[in-house]
């Protein structure tokens, strides 16, 4: 859509993020089809990473679908984790495999946090935050050890499915300790997940 001067006009909120504004500027105010040189100048900008979190998604959509987007990506990567781990566990002790996996994660995350400018002094964190992050890390480590041992023995499809019992447990724990109150529709969905797990777990 263009105004009387022939310049592109975007819906309110669409170009409020840095990427949206830069995209409009790189294309010279024309519809969003920048030249190769425009792309190059855009992605060489030092400020680009500052706009990645907001991207060009309207703010009204961010709160509604933002969590769902990342949750779906998490599910996809979790599925790949199970498949890759099942193949990689052949001839390797499951605990040692967990150690290798954890080491790779530490290196990758450390580089990501450093190059995106998110590193802060851990000593600046409150004792409350540190305590629960440590507890979360211990729970994660225990979960990984158990998951890899189960994956070493059983079928990936069964192990991954039973592992999703955490969906039901998280809902219960969140209700009891975090004071979250899922709606009736959400409880029905959680119950259906639990019933599906029972179908998989019960032997014929």
pLDDT digits (tens, 9 = 90+) for 15-58: 434 444 444 444 444 444 444 444 445 444 444 444 444 444 44
% of residues, the chain, pLDDT over 90: 32
Q: How many CB atoms lie within 10 A of CB 97?
A: 20
Q: How far apart are CA 38 and CA 23, in angstroms?
A: 9
Q: Is 6 helix (H, G, I), strand (E, B) or coil?
A: coil
Q: Is 2 helix (H, G, I), strand (E, B) or coil?
A: strand
pLDDT confidence of residue 201: 73
Query: How confident is the model over 49-75, as a mean pLDDT?
Result: 62
Q: How far apart are CA 94 and CA 73, in angstroms?
A: 25
pLDDT confidence of residue 65: 66
Give the list of residues 6+ apart from residue 31 with CB closer than 8 angstroms, or none: 2, 8
Query: How confident is the model over 91-106, as a mean pLDDT?
Result: 91
**pTM for this one?**
0.59
> What confidence tens digit (pLDDT) does each residue in 167-191 have?
899 999 999 999 899 899 999 999 9
Higher pLDDT, 76 or 29: 76
Could you give the C-alpha distances from 1 to 7, 10, 22, 110, in angstroms and in order? 8, 7, 18, 43
DSSP bridge partners of 2: 8
Report CA dihedral (45, 49, 51, 52) to the nearest 10 degrees. Answer: 130
Q: How far apart are CA 188 and CA 174, in angstroms?
A: 16
Query: How confident is the model over 129-144, as a mean pLDDT?
Result: 93
% of residues, the chain, pLDDT over 70: 67
pLDDT confidence of residue 163: 87
Of the candidates 45, 62, 113, 1, which has an alpha carbon nearest to the alpha carbon of residue 19?
45
Longest dimension (CA), the chain: 72
Query: How confident is the model over 113-126, as a mean pLDDT?
Result: 91
Q: Is the predicted pLDDT of residue 106 greater than 90, yes or no? A: yes
Q: Is the predicted pLDDT of residue 97 greater than 50, yes or no? A: yes
> What are the structural domain ranges in the chain?
1-56, 68-163
pLDDT confidence of residue 19: 42
Q: Is the predicted pLDDT of residue 120 greater than 60, yes or no? A: yes
Query: How confident is the model over 88-110, as a mean pLDDT?
Result: 91
Q: How many CB atoms lie within 10 A of CB 111?
A: 10
User: Average model confidence (pLDDT) for the chain?
Assistant: 75
Q: How far apart are CA 142 and CA 140, in angstroms?
A: 5
């Amino acid at each position: 859509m263009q105004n009387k001067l022939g310049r592109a006009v975007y819906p309110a909120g669409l170009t409020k993020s840095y990427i949206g504004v830069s995209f409009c500027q790189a294309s010279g105010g024309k519809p969003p089809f920048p030249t190769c040189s425009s792309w190059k100048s855009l992605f060489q900008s030092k400020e680009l990473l500052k706009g990645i979190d907001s991207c060009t998604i309207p703010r009204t959509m961010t709160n509604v679908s933002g969590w769902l987007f990342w949750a779906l990506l998490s599910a996809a990567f979790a599925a790949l984790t199970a498949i890759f781990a099942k193949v990689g566990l052949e001839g390797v002790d499951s605990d040692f495999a967990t150690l290798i996996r954890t080491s790779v994660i530490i290196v990758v995350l450390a580089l990501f946090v450093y190059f995106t400018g998110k590193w802060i002094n851990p000593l600046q964190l409150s004792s409350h935050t540190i305590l629960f992050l440590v507890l979360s890390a211990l729970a994660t480590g225990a979960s990984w050890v158990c998951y890899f041992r189960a994956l070493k023995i059983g079928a990936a499809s069964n192990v991954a499915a039973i592992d999703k019992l955490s969906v039901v447990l998280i809902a219960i724990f969140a209700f009891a300790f975090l004071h979250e109150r899922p709606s009736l529709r959400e409880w029905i969905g959680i119950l259906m997940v639990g019933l599906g797990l029972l179908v998989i777990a019960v032997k014929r």
